[in-house]
Amino acid sequence: MATRNPITIEQPATDLLGTRESARVAVFLRTKSSLYSLTHDQVVRNTCTSLDVPYEKSRLIAIQKWPKLDVLVFDIFYDNYDLNTAHHKVDLPVLLVDYGKASSVVRKTSHEFSEIVNVHVATQHNYHGWNAKPPYFEDQAGHNPPKYENPRDATML
């Protein structure tokens, strides 16, 4: 399924995609986007199509629900992903796909933003414990903060 609004891919993002090297994709799926009614898996498929990335080379890792948007994080071309060590931060480059109401943009993020995303992914693996598998879901839209009963690191209890 193609996006219903124009998507602009900035040149640094195109350059990174052209390498076919491991990367993370953070998707800001705004409630006003025409894609908001799709399942998260459909959004990942749509995004892969827009980025010319085979869906089979993606892995949805984390979902955050906020009042005005959902944030999805998925890996592309990350063949070295290991669930047993994924609670350790990696330094993958990050692309931001921002699906808005009228248009959408794909950009390569700053080192600082990439750091935030990579730390978040490692933390989600840690919070959800050894037996849980992605995608990890966090509801930040409600009144109660998420609870993690069985983190990998017991000091987080």
* Amino acid, single-letter form, for residue 88: H
Is the pLDDT at 151 greater than 90, yes or no?
Answer: no
Strand partners, 24: 75, 94
Q: Encode pLDDT of 10-66 as tens digits.
A: 999 999 999 999 999 999 999 999 999 999 999 999 999 999 999 999 999 999 999
The pTM (predicted TM-score) of the whole model is 0.91
Query: Tokens for 58?
Result: 């993606």
Count the residues in the chain: 157
Residue 72: predicted pLDDT? 98
Is the pLDDT at 88 greater than 60, yes or no?
Answer: yes
pLDDT band for position 6 (50/70/90)? Answer: confident
Residue 60: predicted pLDDT? 98
Q: Does residue 99 contact residue 27 with C-beta atoms inside 8 Å?
A: yes
Residue 4: predicted pLDDT? 58
Q: Does residue 138 contact residue 109 with C-beta atoms inside 8 Å?
A: no
List, in order, residues 6 or more apart from 114 with CB less than 8 Å away: 24, 91, 92, 93, 94
d(CA 40, CA 72): 8
pLDDT band for position 144 (50/70/90)? Answer: confident
